[in-house]
């Protein structure tokens, strides 16, 4: 009977100690959850409730915006309907951030997103995120515009001046907050930086860290843009345009040279440019030549690795129009291409290889003449650029039905009459070398020829003065032409000896 009761569980088992046995340690373990809840969970719950109440009160009431503005007067924050349910993790809803000082005005709109803030870094005056996600963001940046003309001002983001710019004074880096935004994964609907406005899809994944007046670092980051590029509110520059880029910049101090050997960059741009008139503000005076009309298909690739910078460009322009005070040119078809390589640390020094400018079926109208059905091709097999001082030099090959348009676009207003006539001959081919620096341009003509005449010589321009020594040969006749500010002459039956002598009279050049 006892054995049966034990088998049925009626008696305590020595191994288990029974339902209420097991000694004092077993009883303490059974009471541990109550102690844990009482001394750990309840205070933690109280702290959580206090955090949620305090942080959300700051968000909803504007207290957080006031606190940030007190810490950094250039900041203005509108939190919208943002809230936080977990420590240092904020759900962003209709957030609006404005940064304005004496040099720029930046505004960021975040309709919906999420950010995880490193709370421990706030104690060291650093706003750092481990994760920042957002959709539908809008970024607008307007630089200081005091020196911009009316048309460029009109193309800037229309940002209201909500408060006075920061008083300009010497600022210590120790007084400024650092920002480290890591774990970025954001999609933007609009990016408007200065006059240039991107509308369409934009995706940024990566991060960066900046210490004002001290250093900048960019995490391995991917950027993708696809849509439309505008100049200002409505003026379309390119549509469609597509940008893909990957970049990594280690910590770079502003007071030291960039660590070029550690910077990595890969980028590709494909665009159909519809309006390039804005270029006159960046590559010449507003009153200079204007490149307008026509569609440009452009491809551009750039890579940077271990200080080796390489770029490849190819553009095909259909029905472009160049207009200036002295000429109007309609270019039916234009192709520009080439490959550039060099060291990023020595830019703009480098080499342009296989450079080509090819123009077909164009019309050229000048104050002195008109050319129809014009064709021109210029090849630079290896054009070298040096820095300090900036110099471009190398061989070239050119062919044209009429060379006068090229001469006028180079800024050469006149040539001696015999050479002026030579420029108008059909099927003109030129082989020579080019040397261009700030105050000096030199054109060596190793051989220029057409069906009936050959030309050799040199043209030099120093400051505003032009010099030339040219030998024209049309067998059995030859003519030598020398021209300068105070000396001009035409010599019949001139030969190689005459040319060698006259070349020595030209200003010395490198």
Cα gap 175→268, rounded to integer Å: 39
Cβ neighbors of 53 (< 8 A, separation 6 or more) are none
Asked if residue 411 has pLDDT above 60, the reply is: no
Cα gap 37→51, rounded to integer Å: 19
Mean pLDDT rounded to a whole number for the chain:
81
Tell me the percentage of the chain whose pLDDT exceeds 90: 28
Cα gap 384→371, rounded to integer Å: 32
pLDDT tens readout for residues 415-427: 656 566 777 777 8
| Residue 349 falls inside a structural domain | no
Helix locations, 335-428, DSSP H: 404-409, 417-423
| Residue 76 falls inside a structural domain | no
| Residue 13 falls inside a structural domain | no
Count structural domains, the chain.
2
Domain stops at, among 233, 249, 275: 275
Got the DSSP string for 188-221?
A: EEEEEETTEEEEEEEEEEEEEEEETTTEEEEEEE
> How many residues would you count in the chain?
510
As given in the structure block, the two tokens for residue 465 are 């003065």
Task: Give, for 29, the enclosing helix (H) or strand (E).
Answer: helix 23-36
pLDDT tens readout for residues 491-502: 888 888 999 998
Confidence bin at 203 (pLDDT 50/70/90): very high
pLDDT tens readout for residues 454-464: 889 998 888 87
| Residue 293 falls inside a structural domain | no
| Residue 499 falls inside a structural domain | yes
Instruction: Give Cα separations from 69 to 77, 177, 211 (angstroms).
Output: 8, 12, 18
| Residue 187 falls inside a structural domain | yes
* pLDDT given for residue 366 in this prediction: 74
Residue 64: Cβ within 10 Å count:
18
Tell me the percentage of the chain whose pLDDT exceeds 70: 80
As given in the structure block, the two tokens for residue 255 are 């007071």
* pLDDT given for residue 135 in this prediction: 93
Structural domain range at position 440: 414-510
Instruction: Give Cα separations from 142 to 175, 180, 295, 390 (angstroms).
Output: 24, 23, 29, 32
Higher pLDDT, 66 or 247: 247
Find tokens 């035409």 and name the residue: 490
| Residue 292 falls inside a structural domain | no
Cα gap 186→138, rounded to integer Å: 11
| Residue 198 falls inside a structural domain | yes
Domain stops at, among 214, 242, 275: 275
- Listed range (83-87, 132-136, 141-145, 202-206) with the worst mean pLDDT: 141-145
Instruction: Give Cα separations from 508 to 123, 215, 336, 461, 505 (angstroms).
Output: 66, 47, 33, 11, 8
Cα gap 378→381, rounded to integer Å: 10
Domain stops at, among 275, 302, 320: 275
Strands 215-231 vs 196-211: parallel, antiparallel or unpaired: antiparallel
As given in the structure block, the two tokens for residue 13 are 């088992």
Mean local confidence (pLDDT), 76-82: 86
Number of H helices, E strands in the chain: 8, 23
**Are 247 and 221 in contact, with CB atoms under 8 Å apart?**
yes
Asked if residue 374 has pLDDT above 90, the reply is: no
Phi, psi angle pair for 374, to nearest 5°: -85, 140
Nearest to 258 by CA among 220, 219, 216: 216
């Amino acid at each position: 009977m006892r054995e049966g009761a034990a088998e049925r569980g009626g008696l305590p088992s020595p191994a288990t100690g029974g339902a209420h046995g097991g000694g004092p340690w077993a009883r303490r373990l059974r009471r541990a959850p109550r102690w844990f809840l009482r001394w750990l969970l309840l205070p933690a719950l109280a702290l959580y409730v206090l955090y949620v109440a305090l942080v959300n009160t700051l968000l909803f009431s504007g207290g957080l915006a006031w606190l940030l503005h007190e810490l950094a007067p250039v900041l203005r924050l509108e939190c919208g309907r943002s809230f936080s349910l977990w420590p240092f993790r904020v759900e962003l809803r209709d957030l609006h951030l404005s940064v304005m000082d004496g040099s720029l005005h930046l505004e960021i709109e975040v309709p919906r997103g999420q950010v995880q803030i490193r709370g421990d870094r706030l104690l060291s005056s650093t706003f750092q995120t481990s994760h920042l996600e957002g959709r539908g963001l809008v970024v607008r940046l307007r630089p200081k515009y005091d020196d911009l003309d009316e048309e460029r001002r009109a193309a800037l983001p229309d940002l209201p001046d909500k408060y006075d710019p920061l008083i300009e004074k010497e600022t210590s880096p120790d007084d400024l907050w650092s920002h480290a935004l890591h774990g970025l994964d954001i999609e933007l609907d609009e990016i408007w930086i200065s006059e240039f406005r991107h509308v369409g899809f934009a995706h940024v994944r990566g991060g960066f860290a900046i210490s004002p007046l001290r250093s900048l670092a960019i995490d391995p980051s991917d950027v993708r843009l696809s849509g439309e590029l505008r100049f200002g509110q409505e003026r379309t520059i390119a549509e469609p345009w597509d940008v893909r880029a990957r970049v990594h910049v280690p910590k770079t101090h502003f007071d030291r040279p960039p660590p070029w050997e550690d910077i990595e960059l890969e980028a590709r741009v494909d665009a159909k440019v519809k309006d390039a008139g804005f270029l006159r503000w960046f590559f010449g005076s507003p009153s200079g030549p204007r490149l307008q009309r026509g569609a440009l298909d452009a491809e551009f690739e750039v890579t940077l690795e271990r200080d080796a910078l390489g770029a490849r460009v190819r553009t095909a322009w259909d029905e472009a129009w160049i207009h200036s005070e002295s000429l109007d040119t309609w270019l039916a078809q234009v192709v520009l291409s080439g490959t550039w390589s060099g060291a990023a640390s020595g830019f703009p020094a480098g080499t342009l290889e296989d450079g080509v400018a090819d123009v077909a079926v164009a019309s050229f109208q000048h104050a002195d003449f008109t050319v129809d059905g014009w064709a021109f091709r210029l090849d630079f097999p290896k054009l070298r650029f040096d820095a300090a001082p900036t110099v471009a030099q190398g061989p070239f090959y050119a062919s044209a039905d009429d060379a006068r348009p090229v001469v006028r676009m180079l800024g050469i207003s006149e040539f001696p009459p015999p050479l002026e006539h030579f420029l108008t001959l059909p099927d003109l081919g030129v082989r020579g070398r080019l040397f261009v620096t700030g105050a000096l341009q030199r054109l060596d003509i190793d051989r220029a020829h057409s069906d009936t005449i050959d030309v050799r010589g040199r043209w030099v321009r120093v400051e505003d003065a032009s010099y030339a020594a040219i030998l024209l040969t049309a067998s059995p006749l030859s003519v030598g032409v020398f021209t300068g500010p105070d000396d001009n002459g035409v010599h019949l039956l001139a030969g190689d000896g005459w040319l060698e002598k006259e070349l020595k009279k030209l200003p010395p050049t490198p």
